[in-house]
Amino acid sequence: MSVTSRRFTTLLAAAAIAALLAGCACEKPRTGEPADGPSTSGLKPEDVADAVPRAEPLARYGNHSPYEVFGRKYHVLASSEGYRERGTASWYGSKFHGRRTSSGEPYDMHLATAAHRSLPLPTYAEVTNLDNGRKVIVKINDRGPFKDGRIIDLSYGAALRLGMISTGTARVEVRAIDVDSGGRYAAAEAPRPAPAAQPESGAGTWLQAGAYGRREGAEELAGQLRRADLQPVSIHDAGSLFRVWLGPYPAAEVESVIRKAIELGFERPHRVQR
């Protein structure tokens, strides 16, 4: 191969790596390209399931260290173990939907994923909105954000769960989740509950704590509620949705359960209309 051919091949490889690193908000806007924005699918916060942490090998792409974006060098951490940080989160959406992330996976704005400058790809993390207490578990599979003062760039779906779509940014805490080779992780999963029988009329008041399109998301919320000593908890299969219910409770206890859930950082449960 001639020197010119080798140089051309090297340039192509470098361009491919740069394209992967530019999978999210680090990518410069192109002339005539639509602005980034929310989904038009009618997605609701309760439709977005938590990412389910599992042991995975490092992604083939996106873990080269150091790497350079816009003339600035960044280093990838050797491990996500013990990582915890507070700062500002932003989100990215429709402009990047379907594009390849830095890890090589396609970006789906409706899933709970995120971009981070230094955590290994993939890393699973719990993100908490410090302004309203809402939480979401994301899979970090992309690089960014490359704007000063921001620590994580969330998918539209994850940002929807955290209630930060309208504000654009939010104060958050990012906590990496350690997953062992057996698939167990720090916030241990609760055993899978059997679907509860439908309650008889007059048996008490049921509260819905959340609803998910995937059973895994419902199971994760049910486990979080149990660990917070909010019980009894059950999952009800409504066909296209898995609903997480608390109760039933006597009428005199309902408001205290709702207040306790809010104080513990959960979204406000609402009464089930039967």
CATH at 151:
2.40.40.10
Task: Examine residue 215 and state whether it is found in any structural domain, yes or no.
Answer: yes
Contact 24, 142 (CB under 8 A): yes
**Do 156 and 209 reside in the same domain of the chain?**
no
More confident position, 274 or 54: 54
DSSP 5: H
Cβ atoms of residues 242 and 235 within 8 Å? yes
Structure tokens at 239: 């066909």
Measure the CA angle with vertex 192, ends 231 and 230; round to 5°.
15
Residues 142 and 246 grouped into a single domain: no
pLDDT greater than 50 at residue 26: no
pTM above 0.75, yes or no: no
Q: Give the separation between CA 128 and CA 135, rounded to whole angstroms.
A: 4
Question: What is the domain extent for residue 212?
Answer: 205-271
CA distance 171 to 156: 16
Residue whose token pair is 């409504």: 238
Residues 172 and 209 in one domain: no
Q: Which residue has the tokens 């602005």?
A: 35
Task: Examine the pLDDT at 168 and tell me if it is beyond 90.
Answer: yes
Q: Which has more pLDDT, 91 or 228?
A: 91
247 and 138 in a single domain? The answer is no
Residue 75 sits in the same domain as residue 211: no
What band does 117 get if pLDDT is binned at 50, 70 and 90?
A: very high
**In a shared domain, residues 121 and 227:** no
Same-domain status, 122 and 30: yes
The mean pLDDT value for 176-181 works out to 82
Q: With 90 as the cut, is the pLDDT of residue 217 above it?
A: no
Residues 146, 93, single domain; the answer is yes
Which of 186, 191, 146 is CA-nearest to residue 18? 146
Alpha carbons 114 and 169: distance in angstroms, whole number: 14
Tell me: pLDDT of 142 over 90. yes
Asked if 107 and 212 sit in the same domain, the reply is no
* Cα separation, 193 vs 185, whole angstroms: 19
Higher local confidence (pLDDT), 139 or 204: 139
